[in-house]
């Protein structure tokens, strides 16, 4: 029985990280969905920028938005200030003559409340969601929008890239870079099936007609794609629509951000259970193996470690137990010396893997104890 518990949990982890990407790639190749019919169309677009105390980056963001290669008359830029108490509103006001609109929430309610308020006021046929610290490449909006020439498409997610310019590249950052390359592969395969599971909140677009108000405890970049897919529309990935954010060089900031994201993910999963379980087998399969079960990997790891203790009478399991100690030791060493620029690459994956799973573990606890706030806070090192 102990061996079964050990190998069942071990098998789950292997399938989650390696089996699922392989399965979804095979499905994409076998299904052969018709390619998206792209064209350089220019519908009216509304770019929404929720902001809370963003005085350090909002000017750059607005200048970046105004410089986008998209017809000025067809691009509406809206900043939604979530009761900012710094100079955010004042700076946005300086851009009023450039046509930028400011919506202010007099009470801090959070990002989702800001979006729920702004979308009905937006004039665009296409709504583009972004963040104040996210700088778009000049053709990003154009690359997103061209996919909506295909009537099957309801949601398009772009590509977020991190830059470490001006900061020390740490083992955690290198691990995150590897993680994003891994996630990018999965996104490409899901997109080939026209069924990208989740978008990126800093760069994605939807048809306005399909937007529904979102519960303030949920995540918009999960709720919008899920609801749109449920209507039978395609949710796809556009890797050529690129936005850039400065990576945090502080593990503490990265960790805090991941705890928040994962807690929101749990809430969204339960809050959208009706949409998830009525969206078809493919998306249910994607949800369980791309997201839900991955969130519980830290529990599987704990079970593997404990069950391994009861199997140490056999040499084979002693080797596995020692291997676990070595892996976690590498992670600890990578954490302690993460700011060393010449740190060997062998530490990257263990450090980042353990950080992500510890964040996931805390996220689960936050969810069940309801300690996570609805409102969002900035990462000091990235804004």
Q: What is the mean pLDDT of residues 132-158?
A: 96
pTM of full prediction above 0.75: yes
Q: Pull the structure tokens for residue 32.
A: 């052969």
- d(CA 140, CA 114) in angstroms, rounded, equals 23
- d(CA 278, CA 291) in angstroms, rounded, equals 17
Instruction: Provide the 10 A C-beta neighbour count for residue 232.
Output: 10
Using alpha carbons, select from 115, 112, 188, 159 the residue that is nearest to residue 375. Answer: 112
- CATH number, position 89: 3.90.550.10
Least confident of 204-208, 237-241, 266-270, 345-349: 345-349
pLDDT computed for residue 376 by the predictor: 55
- d(CA 70, CA 211) in angstroms, rounded, equals 23
Count how many domains the chain has: 1
Q: What is the mean pLDDT of residues 169-198?
A: 79
pLDDT computed for residue 166 by the predictor: 45
- d(CA 216, CA 213) in angstroms, rounded, equals 9
Q: Which structural domain, as residue segments, surrounds residue 150?
A: 1-383
User: How does the average pLDDT of the chain come out, rounded?
Assistant: 87
Tens-place pLDDT, residues 29-76? 998 888 999 999 999 999 999 999 999 999 999 999 999 999 999 999
Using alpha carbons, select from 33, 24, 25, 10 the residue that is nearest to residue 289. Answer: 24
- d(CA 365, CA 367) in angstroms, rounded, equals 5
DSSP label of 96: G
Q: What is the mean pLDDT of residues 301-330?
A: 93
In three-state secondary structure terms, 31 is helix
104's enclosing H/E stretch is: strand 101-104
- d(CA 301, CA 320) in angstroms, rounded, equals 13
**3-state secondary structure string, 214-269?**
CCCCCCHHHHHHHHHHHCCCEEEEEEEEEEEEECCCCHHHHHHHHHHHHHHHHHHH
Tens-place pLDDT, residues 246-297? 766 556 666 777 787 777 777 777 778 888 888 889 999 999 999 889 889 9
pLDDT computed for residue 168 by the predictor: 40
343 against 295, higher pLDDT: 295
- The separation between the first and the last C-alpha atoms of the chain, rounded to the nearest angstrom, is 51
pLDDT computed for residue 124 by the predictor: 96
- d(CA 343, CA 333) in angstroms, rounded, equals 10
pLDDT computed for residue 379 by the predictor: 45
59's enclosing H/E stretch is: helix 58-66
């Amino acid at each position: 029985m102990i061996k079964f518990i050990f190998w069942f949990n071990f098998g789950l982890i292997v399938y989650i990280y390696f089996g699922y990407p392989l399965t979804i790639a095979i499905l994409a190749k076998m299904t052969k969905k018709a390619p998206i019919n792209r064209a350089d169309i220019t519908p009216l677009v509304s770019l929404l920028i929720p902001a809370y105390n963003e005085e350090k980056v909002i000017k750059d963001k607005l200048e970046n938005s105004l410089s986008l290669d998209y017809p000025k008359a067809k691009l509406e830029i809206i900043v939604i200030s979530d009761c900012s108490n710094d100079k955010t509103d004042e700076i946005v006001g300086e851009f009023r003559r450039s046509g930028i609109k400011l919506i202010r929430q007099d009470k801090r309610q959070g990002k989702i409340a800001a979006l729920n308020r702004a979308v009905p006021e937006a004039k665009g046929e296409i709504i583009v969601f972004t963040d104040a610290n996210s700088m778009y490449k000049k053709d990003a909006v154009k690359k997103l929008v061209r996919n909506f020439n295909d009537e099957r498409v309801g949601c398009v997610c772009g590509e977020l890239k991190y830059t470490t310019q001006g900061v020390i590249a740490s083992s955690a950052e290198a691990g995150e870079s590897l993680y994003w390359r891994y996630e990018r592969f999965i996104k490409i395969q899901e997109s080939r099936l026209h069924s990208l599971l989740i978008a990126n909140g800093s760069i994605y677009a939807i048809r306005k007609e399909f937007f529904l108000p979102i519960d303030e405890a949920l995540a918009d970049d999960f709720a919008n794609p899920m609801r749109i897919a449920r209507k039978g529309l395609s949710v796809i990935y556009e890797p050529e629509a690129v936005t850039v954010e400065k990576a945090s060089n502080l593990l503490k900031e990265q960790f805090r951000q991941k705890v928040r994201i994962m807690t929101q993910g749990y809430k969204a999963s339960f809050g959208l259970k009706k949409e998830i379980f009525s969206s078809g087998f493919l998306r249910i399969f994607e949800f369980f193996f791309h997201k839900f079960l991955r969130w519980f990997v830290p529990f599987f790891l704990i079970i593997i470690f404990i069950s391994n203790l009861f199997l140490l009478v056999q040499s084979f399991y002693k080797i596995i137990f020692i291997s676990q100690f070595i892996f976690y030791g590498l992670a600890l060493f990578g954490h302690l010396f993460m700011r060393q620029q010449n740190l060997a690459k062998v530490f990257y994956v263990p450090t980042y893997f353990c950080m992500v799973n510890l964040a996931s573990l805390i996220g689960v606890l936050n969810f069940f104890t309801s300690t996570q706030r609805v409102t969002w806070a900035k990462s000091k090192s990235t804004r």
